[in-house]
């Protein structure tokens, strides 16, 4: 990568205080449970479409907990713990990673235990979320900024979702809290650009209000799911519109290399965030079927995965110290991700389950293809640096 391509100002992403480089010797093995969660979460997702894989059918109900709390929660926890540099902060990713492993273990046992696998994992997920809240309290003492506050409220939403799961509530009651966690984490990171570009007037009150709405949805979900979906749908819609019209990606998309690629990921992700918000507002309270599948995956696949695809070339070097040699090949999995999501959404809305199944399968193929492209780019970067 060129120097311009690797700078936060150019690509539109700046880490919070201390996020630029992880400390040497930090425990990257904590990422292993996250990768196990991802693998089993993808298998569980195929079962839910449904694709009969002949193995691991017991993981089907664990798709959401594994993908959000086990995988994303652990990866985010690793990044935040590495940035803070305090030994106790590693409790956050350690607890969520172990929670995922415990959940898989309980799911593999005969169904004679007095609690569900999700509830067992939820206890450790909640512990990890509590530690993540502690990380943000420590960060806010160092740097009491709006973007850190927004991400801190996201950690509270994560705690609310996992506490509901630990209390025996169904997975559907945790989904709005998980969505709020991911939404506020990403929105807070985008707001960090205020250190590079002066934010527009009124940005602070708007972000505070929307963050409060999203957190209220997370807290309300176990008791009033329809209301929670309406609150989250509103927050998604307004955040999506604001980001699509104000994010620096609108400028950096005219640049080249990884800078343009990241901007394309961001702008397409904001499109899906608006679609998800409108969909949750139109059909709140759905817990199964195509009207549950469509808005949820517009958000998690269209928005969240687009953000991951766009930020991975920057975050991976920051966490591992290994360079990523960017090539145009990164656009292939991104194109497949959005094309397959359109296919999945079309199947949901038309009631064409075969189309939905193939769209969902290709969603996962796009994610695996991205992992292959990323690993190849890291290896290429290592060769170039020697």
CA dihedral 293, 299, 300, 303 (to 10 degrees): 150
Structural Rg of the chain based on CA atoms: 19
DSSP codes of every residue in 210-265: HHHHHHHHHHHTTT-HHHHHHHHHHHHHHHHHHHHHHSTHHHHTTS-HHHHHHHHH
Q: What's the pLDDT score for residue 21? A: 41
Q: How many CB atoms lie within 10 A of CB 247?
A: 21
DSSP codes of every residue in 269-334: HHHHHHHHHHHHHHSTT--SSHHHHHHHHIIIIIIIIHHHHHHHHHHHHHHH-------GGGHHHH
Q: How many Cα atoms occupy the beta-carbon half-sphere of 263 within 13 Å? A: 22
What is the pLDDT of the chain when averaged over all its residues?
87
DSSP codes of every residue in 164-213: HHHTT--HHHHHHHHHHHHHHHHHHHHHGGGGTSPPPTTHHHHHHHHHHH
pLDDT in tens, 248-300: 888 889 998 989 999 999 999 999 999 999 999 999 999 888 889 999 999 99
CB 309 within 8 A of CB 317: no
pLDDT in tens, 164-191: 999 999 999 999 999 999 999 999 988 8
Distances (CA, A) of 319 to 24, 316, 381: 9, 5, 15
Burial environment of residue 20 by CB neighbours within 10 A (0 to 12, 13 to 18, 19 or more): exposed
Q: How many CB atoms lie within 10 A of CB 335?
A: 12
Q: Which residues contact 336 (CB under 8 A, 6 or more apart)?
A: 362, 365, 366, 369
DSSP codes of every residue in 105-144: HHHHS-TTSSS-HHHHHHHHHHHHHHHHHHHHHHHHHH--
Q: How many Cα atoms occupy the beta-carbon half-sphere of 173 within 13 Å? A: 19
pLDDT in tens, 335-351: 999 999 999 999 999 99
Largest CA distance in the chain: 59
Predicted structure pTM score:
0.89
Distance from chain centroid for Cα 153: 15
Q: What's the pLDDT score for residue 318? A: 73
* Dist CA 360 CA 367 (whole Å): 11
Residue with more model confidence, 1 or 322? 322
Q: What's the pLDDT score for residue 112? A: 76
Q: What's the pLDDT score for residue 126? A: 97
pLDDT in tens, 10-46: 344 433 333 434 444 455 678 899 999 999 999 888 8
Q: What's the pLDDT score for residue 182? A: 98
Q: How many CB atoms lie within 10 A of CB 123?
A: 19
* Dist CA 199 CA 248 (whole Å): 10
Delimit the domains of the chain by residue range: 21-142, 145-245, 247-386
pLDDT level of residue 223 (50, 70, 90 thresholds): very high
């Amino acid at each position: 990568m060129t120097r311009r391509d690797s700078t936060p100002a150019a690509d539109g992403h700046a880490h919070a205080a201390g996020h630029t480089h992880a400390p040497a010797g930090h425990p990257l093995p904590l990422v292993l449970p996250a990768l196990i969660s991802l693998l089993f979460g993808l298998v569980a997702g195929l079962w839910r479409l449904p694709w009969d894989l002949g193995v691991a059918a017991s993981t089907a109900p664990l798709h959401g907990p594994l993908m959000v709390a086990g995988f994303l929660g652990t990866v985010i926890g690793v990044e935040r713990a590495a940035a803070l540099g305090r030994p106790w902060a590693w409790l956050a990713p350690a607890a969520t990673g172990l929670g995922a492993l415990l959940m898989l273990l309980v799911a593999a046992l005969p169904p004679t235990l007095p609690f569900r696998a999700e509830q067992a994992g939820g206890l450790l997920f909640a512990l990890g979320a509590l530690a993540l809240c502690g990380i943000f309290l420590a960060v806010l003492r160092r740097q009491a900024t709006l973007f850190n506050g927004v991400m801190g409220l996201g950690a509270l939403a994560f705690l609310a979702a996992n506490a509901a799961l630990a209390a025996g509530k169904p997975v559907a009651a945790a989904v709005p809290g998980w969505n709020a966690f991911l939404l506020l984490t990403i929105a807070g990171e985008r707001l960090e650009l205020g250190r590079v570009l002066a934010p527009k007037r009124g940005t602070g009150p708007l972000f505070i209000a929307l963050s409060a709405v999203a957190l209220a949805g997370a807290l309300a979900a176990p008791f009033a799911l329809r209301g929670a979906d309406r609150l989250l749908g509103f927050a998604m819609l307004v955040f999506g519109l604001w980001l699509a019209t104000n994010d620096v990606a609108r400028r950096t998309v005219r640049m080249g290399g990884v800078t343009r690629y990241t901007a394309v990921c961001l702008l397409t992700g904001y499109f899906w965030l608006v679609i998800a918000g409108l969909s949750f507002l139109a059909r709140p309270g759905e817990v199964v079927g195509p009207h549950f599948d469509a808005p949820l995956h517009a958000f998690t696949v269209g928005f969240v995965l687009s953000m991951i695809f766009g930020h991975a070339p920057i975050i991976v070097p920051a966490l591992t110290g290994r360079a990523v040699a960017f090539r145009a090949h990164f656009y292939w999995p991104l194109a497949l991700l959005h094309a397959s999501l359109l296919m999945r959404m079309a199947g949901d809305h038309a009631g064409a389950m075969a189309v939905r199944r193939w769209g969902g399968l290709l969603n996962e193929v796009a994610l695996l293809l991205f992992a292959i492209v990323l690993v190849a780019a890291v290896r290429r970067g290592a060769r170039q640096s020697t």
